[in-house]
Each structure stands twice: as structure tokens, then as C-alpha cells.
Amino acid sequence: MKDFISMLDSDRLFIENILSLSSFLKEKVKKGEIYRPLDGFTAALIFEKPSTRTRVSFDVGVYQLGGYGIYMDTKGSQLGRGEPIKDTARVLSRYVDLIVIRTFGQNRVEELAKYSQVPVINALTDEEHPCQVLADLFTIWEYKGRLEGLKVAYLGDGNNMCNSWLIGAAYMGMNFYAATPKGYEPMEFYVEKAKEIARDTGAEIVVTNDPVEAVKDADVVYTDVWASMGQEEEAEERRRIFMPYQVNSELVKHAKPDYLFMHCLPAHRGEEVTEEVIEGERSIVWDQAENRLHTQKALILKLVRKVRP
């Protein structure tokens, strides 16, 4: 595999290797051990959308591996002046060892990867967020010791997070229930792909409009913001439509007593999740956020070094 631009670029074995390598790298950090196998490595970090966790975790991750990250936004590059992305890909891949991009359309990442000579990582598009799902799977694995057979309830908008989660859950044999309002379901392409994968892995893939059905006996309750970047004008209408899908103390009563609460952040307290849930004892969002660093380091190593833990 040259690139990681979609969860569909992975499979069960790849994800299991990422989990193992992430654990190895996280332990190195905990022990304060320096591990820099990528001395002289360079990465172009293209951010056409604002970011906190993604930008910092990639920047720090590249540094911790011994490399150097070059941050680029649209204002500081020729992309902002209309240079075709295929031209940017051709030039950058003669300078750097890896390109990470956070952008809008999935087609931009695909075109970048098509014309790049070095690996390309999708750090978020409107359609997918695969790096976040790798971190999520790793976090659940840390807490539960397994992934197969666990039930994940996803509440809210069938957005890029939901699309990528469908595929990741299917590969790992997890039972994934997405509960969204009518008209806000995940893309049919990802639902069908997930069900196709699930036929081989035993995963259960369900898209429903009933939040209680999704949360019932769930091992993990997951949510995301109701209005993503670029949807700010819809925020008020979305708050009204999505309120029945709010993760609150009443809804999580339907989950297993030892359920885990997850959120990819940033969180809007009082909207998709209440304060008592995100700050409660079942919330693991801060470990989830930290693990972006470790899983992305593992991903970089897999792409540029083809290493095994």
C-alpha cells in the first residue's frame, strides 16, 4: 500500500499491525525513550482546513520520529493562487518523503495521491477521516482488549467520521449502529461497502433513525459535532433536528454499564453531548485524542519504512 487516503485502503491485518505498532510507540513515549528511526525524513503538511489535534499530532509525531514537518496552508502556498493540485503533487514529491493533506473534497486527496511519487495520507476530507478511526480503534482496543464482537453506537450526523467508522468496524468484526435523523444518513457507498466486508468478518452494520436502538447494550457510544466545518449556516436548524440524538445521561442508560464514551473533538457541550457525559467516568475522549499521535506515527512508519513491531 502506497497511500492511506481512505479506510478502504486498509484491511484487518493492516489495522492489527497499526494497533501493535502504536502500542510499541506509545510505550516508548511513556518511558521517555528517544526513538527516531526517520532521521533526515521530511513531510509536507498541507492544511486547507483549520485544525488543532490533527495538525499538532502530525507535527509532533514527525518530529518524535526524527523527521521534519513543513506546514503549508493555502495562503502560504501556490494552492491558494489556483495551482492545480497535480502540479503541487509532482513538485512536492521531489522534495519530501511524505505528504499529509487536510482538505475539502475527497477528489483532491485522490488526485494528489495519483500524481505523487511519495505516500499521501488523508488527514480529513468532507467524505472521510480515516486517521481518526485508527486512533479510535486503538483506544477501544486498549480499554477492552479486543475489537471483534463489540457494539459501537454512533449518534448524530452520518458525516465523514461515520463513513470511515463503517469501514473500520466492518474490517474488525465490530457491530456498528449508526443512528441519524432521516436525510442525514451516511453515504450509501460506505454502507454498502461495509456490509460487503461484513459478510466475511461477521460484523453487523445497521443504519437506523432510532437512537435508543443504536445505544441499547452498546460497548461504545460515539458522537461528533452536528455542524461540521462549512455547515455553520445550518447550525441552528441542525440543533433542532439532531437534539433527539444528544448523548446525555438518559440515553446512555441503555448502553452497557461499562460503556465507553468517545468524541473525536472539538465538542459542543449542550449540543451533541452533555457536560456530565463528556466529563464523566465513562468518557475516554482525552486518551482518544492523545492516541492520534501514536497511531499516526505508526501509520507513517508503515508507509515509509514498511516496518513491523
Burial 16-34 (b: 16+ CB within 10 A, else e): ebbbebbbbbbeeeeeeee
In this structure, what C-alpha cell is assigned to residue 118? 511519495
Q: Is 305 a catalytic residue?
A: no
Q: Which of the following is catalytic: 55, 157, 219, 264?
A: 264
Q: Residues annotated as binding site for carbamoyl phosphate? A: 51-54, 78, 102, 129-132, 264-265, 292
Residues contributing to the annotated binding site for L-ornithine: 160, 224, 228-229
Quick check: is 162 catalytic? no
- Compute and round to an integer the Cα radius of gyration of the chain: 19
Q: Is 292 a catalytic residue?
A: yes
**Given 59, 64, 126, 132, the catalytic residue:** 132
Residue with cell 503538511: 45
* Cell 513543513 belongs to residue: 70
Strands 120-122 and 98-102: parallel
The gap between the terminal CA atoms of the chain, to the nearest Å, is 17
Cβ atoms of 297 and 121 within 8 Å: the answer is no
Residues 6+ apart with CB under 8 A from 250: none
Nearest to 154 by CA among 177, 121, 186, 171: 177
Give residue 194's Cα distance to chain centre: 16
The active-site residue, picked from 97, 224, 246, 288, is 224
Instruction: Answer yes or no: 264 catalytic.
Output: yes
Of 55, 129, 238, 263, which one is the catalytic site residue? 129
Positions marked catalytic: 102, 129, 132, 224, 264, 292
